[in-house]
Structure 1
Amino acid sequence: MTERLSAEDAPAGGAPAEEVPAEEAPIIGRALPWLLAIGGAIGVLAAFALAVEKVNTLRDSGYVPTCSINPVLSCGTVMDTPTAEVFGFPNPFLGIGAFAVVTAIGAAMLAGARFNRWFWIGLQLGVLFGIGFVHYLIYQSLYEISALCPYCMVVWTVMIPIFTYTTLDNVRTGRVPLPGGVRSAAGVLIRNHTVVLTVWYVLIIAAIGQAFWSYWSTLI
C-alpha cells in the first residue's frame, strides 16, 4: 500500500511528488531536521575544540594537545602533517563553517522552513563532498599518518549519518531524481537505514582495529 507524499515532504520548486511506500516516509523525514541540527552542533564543537588545540600549538611549540592520549590517539601527531591543512589552512576552520551551516539548516527545518529543490541539491553536493573528504582523512590517519585524532573521529561519527539521511531523504522525496531501477534499489536502503549505518560503522571500526592491531594487542 502506498500514499502520496504530504505537502511537507513533496519536493519544492514545482516538481511533482513521487509516490513512496507509507512505511518509508515517517522516520527519515522526521529524523533529518534533528540530525542536521544536533549532528551539526556536535561537529561544530569538535571542530572548534580541535581549532583551539591547533592555535595553542602555534602559540607554544612545546604544548601537548589534550587530545594526545597515547601513541595511537594523538591529535598532535595528526596536526603536524600536511593532511591537517589540505586547503592551505587548518581543516578545523573548514569544519566550523560547514557544520555551522548544517546546524542552521536543521534549526530552520525544525522551525518550519521549506526549501526549493535547488537548495537540496546544493546540500546533497555539500554532504557528498563532506563524506568524501572525511574518508580521505580516515585513510590518511589509518595508513599514512598512523595516528588517530579523537576530535576528528567525532566529526567522522556525525558526518556519516548526516550524509546517509540527507541522501536517503532526497531520494525518498524525489528531490534527487533517479532511474526507476536505481530508485527501487535505493528503497531497500531507505527501509534498512539503520543497517546501513551499522555496517558502515562496523567497517570503519574493523579498519581501525586492523591498522593499529600491533598496538591494541599490547594492551590485551
Structure 2
Amino acid sequence: MYKRKYSQVFLIDKIIILKILNNLKLSKFNIEMCSGFDNILHYSFNRKKIILIEKDKKIFNFLKNKYKKTKVIVKNTDAIKYKINKVSSIICNIPYNNLKNFINYFLNNNRKIIFLNISIPYNYNKKIINNFYFIYYYKLLKRIFLKKDFFFPKPKIDSLFLIFKKKKNKYKIVKSKKFFKNFFKKKSLNFKEIYYFIITQYRLMLNYYKFILNKFIIYDFLKIF
C-alpha cells in the first residue's frame, strides 16, 4: 500500500512503460531511485549492473525477495543521500513533495551522471528545462507525456518523463590562480570561451556558499521554483 508521507505514485500502465523503455538511455551502471513495486528496470536486465534504491521498508523487502537470485542490488536508503561512486545512468520517478531536493541532488552529482531519466509533474516542465544549471549541464533528448490515469494512486495533475544527456563542457570549475593567469594570457579569446569561463567560476562561487550555509541560494534572476 502506498504511503502519503513519501508522496508515492506508481506508474502502472504497461504500454507507457514499454514506450519509456524504448527511449530510455542506460549505461553500464544504472541506478533506479524510488523504484516502487514494478520498477522500470525490471524489463531491462541485460545491463551489467543495476542498483535499486527504495526508502519504504515494505517495498524494499519486496524487491529484495524478488531479485534475490539475480545480480540486482537493492538498497534501503534515502535516494538523495546515496553517494554515486561510478558514472551512471539515473532513472527516477521523483516524489512530488521532494522535487526541489532531487533536482539539486542531480545538479550536484552532474559529474557522475551520464544520462538522467526522470518523471516530474507537468506544471514544473518549463521551470526545469529552462533552468540555468540544467541548460549548462544537461541536454534534453526526449519528452514523454504521462496522463494521471497511468499512475496509482491517481495524482492531481499529469506528468512528463524527461530524458537528459550530460553535456561535455569545455571548461571545468577550478580554483587555481595559475589557471586564471594562463587563461587570460591567450592571444585570442572568442566570446563563447569567455562566457563559459565566467559561468563555471560563478557556479563555483554558488557551490561554495551553498556548502557553508547548507542551502540552495536562489537569486531573483535564477529562480527555479
Q: Compute the TM-score of the two structures, normalised by the length of structure 2.
A: 0.26
Q: Which has the higher helix share?
A: 1
Q: Which has the higher strand share?
A: 2
Higher relative contact order (CA 8 A, sep 6+): 1
